[in-house]
Amino acid sequence: MTVVSSIPQMLEMMQIAVYVAVILLAGSVAVLGFRIYAPFWKRMALRLVFGILALFSGIGLIGMLPIPDSLIFRMLQLDLWLGSMLAAIIFAIGLLLLSRSLSSEETLKRSIEDLQERLNRERHKHRPDHAFKSPFFIAGLLVIVALLIFAASNFRDMPSMKDDLLSTFGLTQEDLEALGATGSNSMASVGDMPSSCFSVLSVAAAYQDEMATGLQEYANPNLVSIIESETGSKVTRLMMADVRGTVIVVAMMDSGETCLATETEFCTCASTGTQAKA
């Protein structure tokens, strides 16, 4: 399985991770309103139940929120987070009102009895005068410190999904900026290009990040022939991205240039400074 063909599976896993994070966070917020004492496992069950309810309720509330229609909001699914948090707050208020009429006397009595038993056991345990004299304390401290030292010595940089995705296609951030610059700098000479190139160049200049995340392998022998005829170089890789309804074709050349095109016409090229990977 190639990296490109595995992108849908990776996106599905990322979506599941977002759902789990939203459920746990929203559930924790909702349960803050539950003022009745309950054992840990019961509160955890309530947290999961109301987290799931907040997720579904938040999806229904998204349309009512004044959320900007921007790329960053859609990529991070901030509308889902905001809707779920609003639903969680409403659930917390409802649980607060509901729990005022409920009693947890019996549960508290059992918990106090359990705590009293634990207190009696703790009193009969033999411990050194200071924690630093305990081998268990020292062992636990060493484990934590060892992990922190190992992590710090091997820390390089924060992982970047954008850089990983670009490297998959043999591109760098400089290449992406060059593509955007190509679109911007080519506007003045757009009269010498096919009219269909205008939208390609303007979108490539305005939405570089969205174009990078949307790139996928593309096969178009006729377009390859056109690009090679116009540039005199060989196409080593052809990719395309559908950005806001505009199809942008990116061709990596053996000369080190990166070219932009429509699905049927060549537009322009720019030297990116990196050799395309076949």
Query: What integer best gives the mean pLDDT of the chain?
Result: 77
Structural contact between residues 127 and 68, judged by C-beta atoms closer than 8 angstroms: no
pLDDT (tens digit per residue) in 261-271? 888 888 888 76
Q: Which of 62, 109, 105, 102 is nearest to 81 (CA)?
A: 62
Predicted TM-score (pTM) above 0.85:
no
204 CA to centre of own chain? 22
Burial class (CB in 10 A: 0-12, 13-18, 19+), 250: buried
pLDDT (tens digit per residue) in 193-214? 666 777 777 777 777 777 777 7
User: Is the model's pLDDT at 3 over the cut of 80?
Assistant: no
User: Is the model's pLDDT at 32 over the cut of 70?
Assistant: yes
pLDDT (tens digit per residue) in 171-189? 566 655 655 555 555 444 4
Q: Which of 167, 20, 29, 2 is nearest to 85 (CA)?
A: 29
Measuring CA to CA, how many Å separate 128 from each of 133, 136, 137, 138, 276? 6, 11, 11, 12, 66
Q: What residues pair up with 253 in beta bridges, in sequence order?
A: 235
Task: Band the pLDDT of 52: cuts 50, 70, 90.
Answer: very high
CA dist 235 and 30 (Å) reads 56
pLDDT, position 66: 76
> Three-state SS for 58?
helix
Burial class (CB in 10 A: 0-12, 13-18, 19+), 185: middle
What is the number of other CB atoms lying within 10 angstroms of the CB of residue 137? 14
Structural contact between residues 238 and 220, judged by C-beta atoms closer than 8 angstroms: yes
CA dist 246 and 239 (Å) reads 14
CA dist 258 and 235 (Å) reads 9
200 or 139, higher pLDDT: 139
Radius of gyration of the chain (CA): 29
Q: Could you tell me the residue ranges of all domains in the chain? A: 7-123, 169-271
